[in-house]
């Protein structure tokens, strides 16, 4: 039985090496898994290739950055830069910095240098908590927190992009700077997109106006503006990528967002939903518009998202958890998320 098992394994390994491609059937998981039809020894065969997780060995991971065969920079702004890289043995006839058409990257690399303790907390493994932010909590605790973060200069990289000082070559669409008023915006690739796999398309729409920090600032009077922005963003995306149709795009915003300048995420519907599109993080733009439209009452045009409770997830290392919601936990019944009242 042992010898038979070894023979089967050896035969299957040999069959993989003999695979002859006829056509690619599908790419999914953002291009990380590919299904191919072909033959092995003249008989039909289907081969599915999927990128494996990184090893956990610190020795391997420590050697990885210095052992890359080729590297191509995609962009840089402030302390952030992002790259595509090719692992494996380098070709002695080609430079380590990739510029040619024979560059086949298999690793996406983001560098934050120099990084801060806030960056370290964000990217460290941590538990998650579900919290409910009431209008009163937003007014008394979260809004002042947002204001403090904006005052620390954390939006400099955003303003650099909007004002055309950095990432000019990365902007795929923009209204004339300063001439579109409140309707001014620009589109650029999200730093997590490889800029080539259209099924994994992920763009950011940054608005020029600076009075909107997050979805909490949206009011019923903003509904026409939001509808116009949605149409303009979709139109610009489709014009830039003609193979994508309007009903293949999803638009959403994050709460809590990573930075407090209102922006809209644009993704292909085929992009597999990870944590950034999950309930408790992403809220569809159309859903926000519909919520605003049904708000009634005194001064209804000023009714807004600051008047509703929002439930979302937080990492245990985040300042909002440690400074705002964790201290509330001991003062509530265990069955309620922090911040949720009667």
- Output the domain CATH number for residue 160: 3.30.428.10
Residues in the chain: 342
Asked whether residue 102 is domain-assigned, the answer is no
Asked whether residue 138 is domain-assigned, the answer is yes
- With 0-12 / 13-18 / 19 or more C-beta atoms within 10 angstroms meaning exposed / middle / buried, residue 291 is middle
| Strand blocks (E) in 248-335 | 249-254, 263-268, 282-284, 310-315
Interval 195-201 mean pLDDT: 89
Asked whether residue 2 is domain-assigned, the answer is no
Asked whether residue 16 is domain-assigned, the answer is no
- With 0-12 / 13-18 / 19 or more C-beta atoms within 10 angstroms meaning exposed / middle / buried, residue 260 is buried
User: Which of 177, 175, 181, 179 minimizes the C-alpha distance to 165?
Assistant: 177
150 is written with which tokens?
């904006």
* Structural contact between residues 197 and 183, judged by C-beta atoms closer than 8 angstroms: no
Q: Point out the least confidently predicted range of 102-106, 155-159, 231-235.
A: 102-106
pLDDT of residue 150: 92
pTM of the model: 0.79
206 is written with which tokens?
């940054």
Asked whether residue 151 is domain-assigned, the answer is yes
Q: Give residue 269's domain range.
A: 126-331
pLDDT at 107 over 90: no
Domains identified in the chain, total number:
1
Measure the CA–CA gap between 73 and 82, rounded to whole angstroms. 6
- Within 10 angstroms of residue 231's Cβ, the number of other Cβ atoms is 11
Helix 285-293 and helix 223-240: axis angle, to 10°?
Answer: 160
Measure the CA–CA gap between 32 and 199, rounded to whole angstroms. 11
Strands 185-189 and 310-315 turn out to be unpaired
Which residues are marked as active site?
263
Asked whether residue 33 is domain-assigned, the answer is no
Asked whether residue 69 is domain-assigned, the answer is no
Which of 177-186, 227-236, 288-297 holds the top average pLDDT?
Answer: 227-236
The 3-state DSSP class for residue 254 equals strand
**Residues 218-266: tens digit of each pLDDT:** 999 999 999 999 999 999 999 999 999 999 999 999 999 999 999 999 9
Asked whether residue 34 is domain-assigned, the answer is no
Band of pLDDT at residue 1, cut at 50, 70 and 90 = very low
């Amino acid at each position: 039985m042992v010898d038979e098992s070894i023979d089967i394994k050896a035969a299957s390994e040999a069959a993989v090496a003999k695979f002859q491609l006829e056509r690619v059937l599908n790419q999914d998981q953002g291009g990380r898994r590919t299904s191919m039809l072909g033959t092995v020894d003249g008989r039909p065969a289907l081969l599915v290739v999927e990128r494996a997780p990184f090893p956990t060995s610190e020795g391997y991971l420590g050697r990885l950055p210095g052992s890359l065969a080729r590297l191509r920079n995609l962009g840089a702004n402030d302390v952030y830069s992002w790259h595509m890289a090719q692992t494996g043995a380098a070709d002695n006839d080609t430079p380590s910095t990739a510029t040619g058409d024979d560059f086949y990257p298999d690793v996406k690399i983001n560098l934050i240098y120099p990084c801060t303790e806030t960056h370290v907390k964000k990217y460290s493994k941590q538990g998650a908590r579900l919290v409910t932010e009431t209008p009163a909590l937003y007014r008394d605790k979260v809004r002042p927190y947002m204001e403090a973060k904006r005052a620390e200069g954390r939006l400099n990289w955003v303003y650099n992009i909007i004002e055309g000082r950095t990432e000019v070559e990365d902007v795929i669409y923009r209204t004339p700077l300063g001439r579109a008023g409140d309707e001014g915006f620009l589109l650029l690739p999200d730093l997590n997109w490889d800029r080539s796999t259209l099924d994994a398309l992920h763009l950011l729409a940054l608005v020029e106006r600076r009075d909107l920090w997050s979805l909490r600032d949206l009011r019923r009077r903003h509904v026409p503006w939001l509808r116009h922005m949605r149409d303009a963003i979709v139109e610009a995306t489709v014009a830039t990528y003609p193979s994508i149709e309007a009903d293949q795009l999803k638009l959403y915003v994050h709460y809590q967002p990573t930075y407090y300048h209102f922006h809209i995420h644009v993704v292909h519907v085929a992009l597999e939903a990870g944590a950034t599109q999950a309930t408790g993080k992403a809220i569809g733009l159309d859903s926000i518009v519909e919520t605003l439209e049904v708000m009634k009452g005194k001064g209804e045009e000023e009714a807004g998202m600051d008047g509703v409770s929002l439930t979302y997830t937080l990492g245990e290392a985040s300042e909002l958890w440690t400074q705002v919601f964790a201290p509330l936990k001991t003062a509530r019944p265990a069955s309620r998320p922090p911040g949720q009242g009667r």
